[in-house]
Amino acid sequence: MRKKQIIECIPNFSEGKNKDILAAIATAIKQNTGVKLLHIDRGEAANRTVFTFAGPPQQVIEAAFQAMKVAGELIDMRIQKGEHPRIGATDVCPLVPIANITMEEVIAYAQQLGERVAKELDIPIYLYEHSAKTSKRKNLATIRSGEYEGLAKKMKLSEWQPDFGQVFNAKTGATVLGARDFLIAYNINLATDSVDIATKIARDIRESGKVIKTANGAKTRISGQCKSLKAIGWYIEEYGKAQVSMNLTNFKITGIHEAFEACKTAAKKYGTVVTGSELIGLIPLEAILAAGHFYAHKKGATNLTEKALIQLVVDKLGLAELSPFNFEERVIEYLL
């Protein structure tokens, strides 16, 4: 007998202020039998909310479709504004294998969902990460370049025709959708309101690094410190702080503790300090325990329990600086 397959879906919606809209999206997800809504992370200043839910693949993609339908009906991209880059009401919709399912199977479900959304909801779909049909479209930031405001013009270019749906939808924008590995969304808080400083730190630590001019005037790219890390700098008004906003695309290569320590070092270079950090959505137990063992080793602590290791991470990374942090609601294995 085949074991139960589980996938996770983490759609990001371009709405973080209207609680009625978010409640309607949540209802659309929860009404699907077998699907568990694990977490909702609302960012008011970024005007963006991340939903996390999981369950059997067919039920999950049905829940994703219904959520995207509600978002398309209630969010109007013609008037939407926010700090976070975006191209659509449902900006990005990743599908992640969790248990007893291969990446190839998840890719097939992503294609099935994308084709249906384009056909029935008239929302153009770009496939990314493992679902991408060309290497140029693997990276979310590349697809999202120009954001919603540049999307109509971008879609007219032959190399940027969507994978599904060819007509620009002014109200919904487009959606980036695909199968990917587990990603940790993580923001680090700075003791400054300077976006310029946050951006400089991001460029120093992210894998893509920064572009500089050489002595002869040519441009060259210098790689950043941390592999498998994407980062930008921004200012969040509700916190009164600048942040380095990150995606850790492979936490086994760069963990949250390594990103945090790299930020601390870079912050000193620019005359500021790190005050804490913020986890967006959920984190695998393996990732938070790796950070726990790192800090336990630094302080010479041994034989700590699992919960003690997690609490050590919460303290060292300042994960409760902006809001209470309950690890039983943020570690995916605890929820599942």
Dihedral angle over CA of 101, 105, 111, 117, nearest 10:
-30
Rounded Cα–Cα distance for residues 327 and 202 (Å): 27
* Residue in the block written with tokens 């479209």: 137
Residues identified as active-site: 84
Contacts of 179 (CB under 8 A, 6+ apart): 94, 95, 96, 97, 103, 106, 107, 109, 110, 129, 130, 131
Q: How many residues does the chain have?
A: 336
Strands 125-127 and 36-43: unpaired
C-alpha of 72 from chain center: 20
Is 241 within 8 Å of 192 (Cβ atoms)?
yes
State the Cα–Cα distance between residues 99 and 293, nearest whole angstrom: 25
Note whether 292 and 313 are within 8 A (CB): yes
The DSSP code sequence of 127-165 is E-GGG-SSGGGS-HHHHHTTTGGGHHHHHTSGGG--SB-
